[in-house]
């Protein structure tokens, strides 16, 4: 060290090279100082710059990104791109937002499941803020204590065990009401009926009974309001795709106004339902419902938010999609009926506890959620900070979407993927069969409820009826449409079918 200092001082004094030595030393010292005092994010910024960029499809242009090439069915385009770009790739939506598309089960598991602490935020947009009351509704809230408290409550209140212990009667009584409605009207004329209204009334009642201990008739003013909010919520929420393209803002300004209006109505209507539960509690008539439990836990006064508006819509979409697929494939109905008849019999209705005795009926539901999940994108996750994955840079605030279409129609996982084949799930191992409920820490907390609801309904429908196409003037069957795969957002299919009773016990047991 002394030698070096001596040399330095000599050089400093003796020549031009000395200046460079001093400069180099200063640079090293400064570098070390700066490196030690920089905040970690800045250090990381340097590291991230060196990482590879995620592969990205061709066709991006300045400002618009991939807008001109993504088309009107982005999920189909993502699947097409996935074939050449591999398990993970990036799409630029407009000038700012990067969408990271998860195109393989391994990527979903590595990023969303295993690194949940980092990849569990939500993409904030004006529209989503407006419709969620600035993240008050927990499907949009940031990853933090508020979200954790909500998810804990929800998981406790509508866990599989709690549903079986406390709410099994709701599934039983409400499905009977549905079956009786269909029995009364479903086979009167050859034109059949569109079960849309019956299914929405039924689903809203099941969820509303579990959450608020309250149900409706179709003529109740409250019901009409809840139905309208449920439909508006999904329709306005689906405009979010447009919001990713900033230059479209003049077009979606109307949508933001509508989103704020829906949020206002949510506060009004569900706030009133919460007040009713509070009032009953005060008067010593506690209701057996999730809201009552939330109130008792008193950690939050936003109990109405458990009734996630999308929850009724997604479940109704799944059921209506199921009816259309069953009407198209009578042999599936016959096989399920044979299973139900053999394992349950015709002297009682199947119920939500019969899942393990009815593997084929269960497989129909799994296939339904694979074949036509209520949403192709779910709700995008986000990462607040820059991250690395397998040597790639994942920019901060990216929107992470599972390419549900690509994963669900991968022929290596599901041979003959465009055929509706429940039996493919009968011998399935324990790996995840579908991604309809999302993944990681934001995975749908209503999945057990939704599965129970869909199972009980379809098992009972299959026990009671043959679902058949309507007949035209010449009494030929009219083809029942499949839910449209090209639509990027969930739209409940409108169908006309006949519900033909299979045996004489239907009415008697449904009235019992």
* Binding residues vs ligand HEM (CB under 6 A): 138-139, 151, 207, 308, 311, 314-315, 318, 373-375, 378-379, 381, 436-439, 442-446, 449-450
- Length, in residues, of the chain: 512
Give the whole-angstrom CA distance, residue 414 versus residue 410: 6
Give the whole-angstrom CA distance, residue 427 versus residue 174: 32
Instruction: Kindly tell me which of 122 and 421 has the beta carbon lying closer to ligand HEM.
Output: 122
Instruction: Kindly tell me which of 294 and 437 has the beta carbon lying closer to ligand HEM.
Output: 437
Q: How far is the CB of 138 from ligand HEM (least distance, A)?
A: 6
Residue 489, SS3?
coil
Give the whole-angstrom CA distance, residue 360 versus residue 342: 12
Q: How far is CA 204 from the centre of its chain?
A: 18
Q: Looking at 94-192, which runs of residues are DSSP E strands?
A: 97-102, 121-122
289 annotated ligand-binding residue: no
Burial of 137: CB neighbours in 10 Å, binned 0-12, 13-18, 19+: buried
Burial of 493: CB neighbours in 10 Å, binned 0-12, 13-18, 19+: buried
Q: DSSP secondary structure string, 436-481?
A: TT--GGGS-TTHHHHHHHHHHHHHHHHHHEEEEE-B-TTSPBPPPP
Q: How far is the CB of 193 from ligand HEM (least distance, A)?
A: 23
Instruction: Kindly tell me which of 101 and 450 has the beta carbon lying closer to ligand HEM.
Output: 450
Contacts 24+ apart (CB under 8 A), 195-201: 195/320, 195/323, 195/495, 195/497, 195/499, 196/320, 196/492, 196/494, 199/316, 199/319, 199/320, 199/323, 200/227, 200/230, 200/312, 200/316, 201/227
With beta carbons less than 8 A apart as the criterion, state whether 440 and 419 touch: no
Q: How far is the CB of 73 from ligand HEM (least distance, A)?
A: 18
Q: How far is the CB of 144 from ligand HEM (least distance, A)?
A: 12
* DSSP character at residue 89: E
Instruction: Kindly tell me which of 92 and 381 has the beta carbon lying closer to ligand HEM.
Output: 381
* CB-facing half-sphere around the CA of 367: CA atoms within 13 A: 27
With beta carbons less than 8 A apart as the criterion, state whether 152 and 299 touch: no
Q: How far is the CB of 276 from ligand HEM (least distance, A)?
A: 19
With beta carbons less than 8 A apart as the criterion, state whether 309 and 208 touch: no
Instruction: Kindly tell me which of 59 and 135 has the beta carbon lying closer to ligand HEM.
Output: 135
Instruction: Kindly tell me which of 151 and 261 has the beta carbon lying closer to ligand HEM.
Output: 151
Give the whole-angstrom CA distance, residue 500 versus residue 179: 11
Q: How far is the CB of 139 from ligand HEM (least distance, A)?
A: 3
Instruction: Kindly tell me which of 252 and 376 has the beta carbon lying closer to ligand HEM.
Output: 376
Instruction: Kindly tell me which of 138 and 245 has the beta carbon lying closer to ligand HEM.
Output: 138
Q: What spatial distance separates the first Cα and last Cα of the chain, rounded to whole Å?
A: 97
Q: How far is the CB of 362 from ligand HEM (least distance, A)?
A: 14
Q: How far is the CB of 147 from ligand HEM (least distance, A)?
A: 6
Instruction: Kindly tell me which of 51 and 443 has the beta carbon lying closer to ligand HEM.
Output: 443
Q: How far is the CB of 498 from ligand HEM (least distance, A)?
A: 25
Q: Binding site: residue ranges?
A: 444
Q: Binding site for heme: residue ranges?
A: 444
């Amino acid at each position: 060290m002394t030698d070096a200092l001596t040399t330095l001082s000599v050089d400093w004094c003796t020549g031009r090279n000395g200046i460079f030595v001093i400069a180099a030393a200063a640079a090293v010292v400064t570098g070390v100082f700066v490196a030690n005092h920089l905040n970690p994010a800045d250090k990381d910024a340097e590291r991230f710059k060196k990482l590879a960029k995620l592969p990205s499809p061709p066709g991006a242009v300045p400002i618009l990104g991939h807008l001109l090439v993504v088309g009107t069915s982005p999920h189909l385009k993502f699947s097409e791109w996935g074939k050449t770009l591999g398990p993970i790739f990036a799409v630029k939506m407009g000038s700012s937002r990067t969408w990271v598309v998860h195109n393989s089960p391994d990527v979903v598991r590595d990023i969303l499941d295993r690194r949940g602490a980092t990849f569990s935020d939500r993409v904030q947009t004006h529209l989503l803020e407006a419709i969620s009351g600035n993240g008050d509704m927990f499907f949009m809230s940031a990853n933090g204590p508020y979200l954790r408290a909500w998810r804990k409550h929800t998981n406790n209140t509508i866990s599989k065990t709690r549903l079986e212990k406390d709410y099994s009667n709701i599934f039983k009584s409400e499905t009977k009401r549905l079956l009786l409605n269909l029995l009364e009207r479903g086979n009167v004329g050859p034109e059949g009926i569109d079960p849309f209204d019956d299914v929405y009334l039924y689903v809203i009642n099941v969820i509303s009974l579990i959450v608020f201990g309250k149900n409706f008739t179709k003529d109740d003013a409250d019901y009409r309001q809840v139905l309208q909010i449920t439909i508006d919520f999904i329709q306005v929420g689906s405009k979010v795709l447009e919001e990713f393209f900033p230059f479209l803002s003049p077009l979606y300004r109307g949508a933001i106004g509508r989103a704020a209006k829906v949020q206002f109505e949510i506060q009004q209507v569900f706030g009133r339902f919460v007040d009713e539960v509070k009032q009953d509690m005060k008067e010593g008539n506690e209701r057996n419902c999730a809201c009552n439990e939330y109130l008792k836990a008193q950690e939050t006064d936003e109990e109405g938010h458990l009734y996630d508006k999308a929850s009724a819509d997604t479940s109704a979409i799944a059921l209506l999609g199921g009816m259309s697929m069953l009407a198209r494939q009578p042999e599936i109905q016959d096989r399920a009926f044979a299973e139900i008849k053999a394992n349950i019999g015709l002297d009682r209705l199947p119920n939500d506890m019969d899942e393990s005795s009815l593997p084929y009926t269960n497989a129909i539901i799994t296939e339904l959620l694979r074949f036509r999940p209520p949403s192709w994108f779910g709700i995008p996750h986000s990462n607040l900070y820059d991250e690395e994955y397998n040597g790639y840079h994942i920019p901060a605030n990216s929107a992470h979407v599972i390419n549900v279409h690509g994963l669900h129609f991968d022929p290596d996982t599901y041979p003959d993927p465009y055929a509706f084949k429940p039996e493919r799930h009968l011998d399935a191992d324990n790996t995840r069969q579908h991604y309809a409920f999302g993944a990681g820490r934001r995975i749908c907390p209503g999945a057990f409820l939704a599965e129970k609801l869909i199972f009980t309904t379809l098992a009972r429908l299959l026990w009671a009826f043959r679902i058949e196409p309507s007949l035209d003037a010449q009494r030929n069957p009219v083809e029942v449409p499949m839910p449209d795969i090209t639509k990027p957002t969930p739209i409940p299919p409108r169908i006309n079918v006949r519900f033909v009773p299979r045996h004489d016990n239907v009415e008697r047991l449904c009235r019992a």
